[in-house]
Amino acid sequence: MIKFQVPTKEEVSEKNKELFTHLEKSLGTVPNLYAAMAYSDSALSKYMAFQNSPSSLHVKEKEAINLVVSQVNGCKYCLSAHTLIAKMNGFSNEEILNIRKGTASTSKLNALVVFAKAVTETKGRVTEEVLNMFFDAGYTKENMIDVIFQIGDKILSNYLHNLTNVPIDFPLAPALD
């Protein structure tokens, strides 16, 4: 297997150096997976724009999607990063583990998690029951589109890590039972 080193600021393009500086200022560091995107002159800027675009979903909803999709895709990097981010956004350890297993504590969030997991597992071919549960919980067609985009965001990063296997620079997420 090809070994992917994490590129340093000195090894990336001028465009990516600017993004590294921005990330260092806002996050205090450049996460290894973001640095790996800098092998491409355009991927990191595209990803950051995509990730930071407006959404009808709240932060906790996006984190729930990030967790369940990363679990389905077996991405240890994203599970570790989003476990930390989910805690910062008010999820308990138990809630995080349950979301990764495909359930949530409130009926609305549960409908979202079930929907996101089903979309990921079936590549968008969910059952009518799952779709109805999502809409019956109060989600809209706009929310559905934004869920698909959030899943797309996570699939990009999940697949990138699963292929590059760059070192995880977050506390490791616990394994599920």
Taking only the tens place, the pLDDT of each residue in 129-158 is 999 999 999 999 999 999 999 999 999 999
Q: What pLDDT does 68 receive?
A: 98
Mean pLDDT of 76-85: 98
Q: Is a pLDDT exceeding 90 seen at residue 177?
A: no
- The domains found in the chain, sorted by start residue, are 9-51 (no CATH), 59-164 (1.20.1290.10)
Q: Is a pLDDT exceeding 90 seen at residue 41?
A: yes
Mean pLDDT of the chain: 96
Give the DSSP letter string of the chain.
Answer: -PPPPPPPGGGS-HHHHHHHHHHHHHHSS--HHHHHHTTSTTHHHHHHHHHTS--SS-HHHHHHHHHHHHHHTT-HHHHHHHHHHHHHTT--HHHHHHHHHT--SSHHHHHHHHHHHHHHHHTT---HHHHHHHHHTT--HHHHHHHHHHHHHHHHHHHHHHHH-PPP-SPPPPPP-
Confidence of residue 58 (pLDDT cuts 50, 70, 90): very high
